[in-house]
Structure 1
Amino acid sequence: MVTVWPRRLALVVAPVHGESFASWVDRMALRNGCPPWAMVEALGLDVATSSDVRSLAYGVVATPETYRAIEAATGVSAEVVRGMHLAMFDGSVLDLAGVRVGDKESVRRAESREWVQFFGSRACPQCLAASNGAWLVWWKLGWAAVCPAHRTLLVDLCPRCRVSIRRGPAGQPARLSRSRMPDPLRCGALLSGFVCDQPIPQISTSAVSNKLADQQRLVLEVAMGRRPALIAGQVVSAGQWFAVLKATAMLIRLGVPEVLPLLNVTLDGQGALAAEAARQRWNRAGPMGRYGTAPRTALVAATLLEVALEVAEAEGESELVARLMPLAAAARMRWKERRPDLLTQVALSPVFAAALDVVLGGQAGRQ
């Protein structure tokens, strides 16, 4: 069977380093004067049977054939195109092994399980202004909290319409528009028949400490395999490292509000954790759904990240136990000595699992 590649586009926009696939498509659509639907079709993606981006795993994963088709249409290498998808984080901060293109349910399950926004994004207004609207792919991660370059908290909510930015109509996943031209520098949320035109570069942000900016940079370097992952001085896989951060975040959430005075974080961070806990409700996923979901805001993500990294950076096993002990003690007040089964659902490194066994009295469990 002969492969039919898409026709080479005359007007191609060079992707910005680290840009997300959806952002690149939007900027290409603007350059070519067409809606995103038409641009995606011109790139060789199969959009003939559905208008729902969920069924396409749009910007999440794609087949090797799709990467090559996009290369044929644009001249941008398949490797660079894959780097614009969340697939670049598979095996480190994300587990996308079960996500299949065209399988809506596999995308839904992964989005509810992983700490990521498949169809939304946080953002740095200053970065967007400087790049003329290039949205970075790592802003979609649940651990995306601050901009290391500008040392500011990322934006996650439009101040005008109160919808999560880039999420879509009223906070629901957006479809690929057949008619509306994208505007990478505006909110664009569809609400009751009108489009929110809030300029994102004009949204104010909060400054963060140099320490937190450096911690965010560390997270990105580990996620991209540019730096070894260490837990209590021992080298672990990137996947195990992020599992430890997530498990520590769960432990912190379990202890709210008793744990808050024990955390070396700002009062705003403590307040954000308390507010998140107050809004959370039990659901069909049980405790995992309440405590294991991605942080709702950049401020919560920053607060959890700051504490989790302090735990992970313990110099040895005994210090790791000492740093976990107060978190576990606070959490026990909320559990009322019940077994914290949700911690058994995370694949942890042996050194961290052993430390949990100590602080939880052998109840942590291992995978």
Structure 2
Amino acid sequence: MMVPARLPVAPRPFRDELVTSWMARVAARYGAEPFELMVFLAGQAGRYAGARQIDDVVPDMGLLRLWAKACRIDPERLRRRSLASRYPGRPQGWLLTETVPVCLACFDADVAAGRDAYLRKNWRLAEQVVCPEHRTMLLDRCPACRGHLRLSLRMLNGLLRPFCRKC
């Protein structure tokens, strides 16, 4: 029987953070993408090697438990970060699933506060087109390459910063 991995470093989720954002921050600490770390954790737990990505809307509790155990965190705390839990009764069509638009000013505020950049839960709401804090449009395209925004987190000066995967 294989013993599930325990990660020595795992940042705690922010109050308004998406589950997938937290997972990206954990994985980035190890120079990996979330799916790579998911496959590693699933393999260490003796589970299926065909691990899949976590869904922010209704995450698979088995996968959440796997991450929770590896990161020494209560799985219920992670489940409460799901969009279905945060917005009960909301039709799933009102939650963005493909691309998460972002507020660049929020990322700048993260830098100014000396914390990792992260994706906020309200950015996944279909009706949210302006950041309520900074009053700026949420962007779903990279300002540099104009492609659909696909963020990756990388370590810079000891903190995680967002980067476009395309450019």
TM-score for the superposition, normalised by structure 2: 0.73
Q: 1:6 to 1:94 in 2, by over 3 A?
A: farther
* SS of aligned partner of 2:65: helix
Tell me which moved more, 83-92 or 69-78.
Answer: 83-92
**Deviation (angstroms), 1:134:** 0.6
CA–CA separation in structure 2 for the residues paired with 1:37 and 1:9? 15
Deviations, residues 255-293 of structure 1 (Å, cap 9, x unaligned): xxxxxxxxxxxxxxxxxxxxxxxxxxxxxxxxxxxxxxx
Higher helix share: 1
CA–CA separation in structure 1 for the residues paired with 2:54 and 2:34? 15
CA–CA separation in structure 1 for the residues paired with 2:48 and 2:119? 23
* SS of aligned partner of 2:29: helix
Match of residue 82, structure 1, among 79, 82, 98: 79
* SS of aligned partner of 1:152: coil
Aligned to 1:49: 50
Match of residue 69, structure 1, among 29, 51, 66: 66
Aligned to 2:113: none
Unpaired runs of 5+ in structure 1?
Answer: 96-113, 168-180, 189-194, 197-367
* SS of aligned partner of 1:13: coil
TM-score for the superposition, normalised by structure 1: 0.37
**Deviation (angstroms), 1:150:** 1.8
Unpaired runs of 5+ in structure 2?
Answer: 111-115, 155-160
**Deviation (angstroms), 1:139:** 0.7
Q: Which one-letter code corresponds to 1:75 in the other structure?
A: R
> Of the two, which has the highest radius of gyration?
1
Match of residue 22, structure 2, among 6, 21, 24: 24
Of structures 1 and 2, the one scoring higher in RCO (CA 8 A, sep 6+) is: 2
* SS of aligned partner of 1:151: coil
Deviations, residues 199-245 of structure 1 (Å, cap 9, x unaligned): xxxxxxxxxxxxxxxxxxxxxxxxxxxxxxxxxxxxxxxxxxxxxxx
CA RMSD of aligned residues (A): 2.9
CA–CA separation in structure 2 for the residues paired with 1:134 and 1:80? 17
Aligned to 1:148: 132
Aligned to 2:94: 115
CA contact (8 A) 1:36 1:182 kept: no
Match of residue 11, structure 1, among 9, 14, 17: 9
Q: 1:43 to 1:21 in 2, by over 3 A?
A: farther
* Identity between Structure 1 and Structure 2 (%): 28
CA–CA separation in structure 2 for the residues paired with 1:93 and 1:63? 19
CA–CA separation in structure 2 for the residues paired with 1:138 and 1:44? 29
**Deviation (angstroms), 1:82:** 1.5
Deviations, residues 72-94 of structure 1 (Å, cap 9, x unaligned): 11122212212333332453323
**Deviation (angstroms), 1:42:** 4.2
Alignment of 1:312-331 (within 5 A): none
**Deviation (angstroms), 1:142:** 0.6
CA–CA separation in structure 2 for the residues paired with 1:88 and 1:44? 24
CA–CA separation in structure 1 for the residues paired with 2:153 and 2:104? 17
* SS of aligned partner of 2:56: coil
1:126 is the counterpart of 2:105: yes
CA contact (8 A) 1:21 1:81 kept: yes
* SS of aligned partner of 2:162: coil
CA–CA separation in structure 2 for the residues paired with 1:35 and 1:94? 30
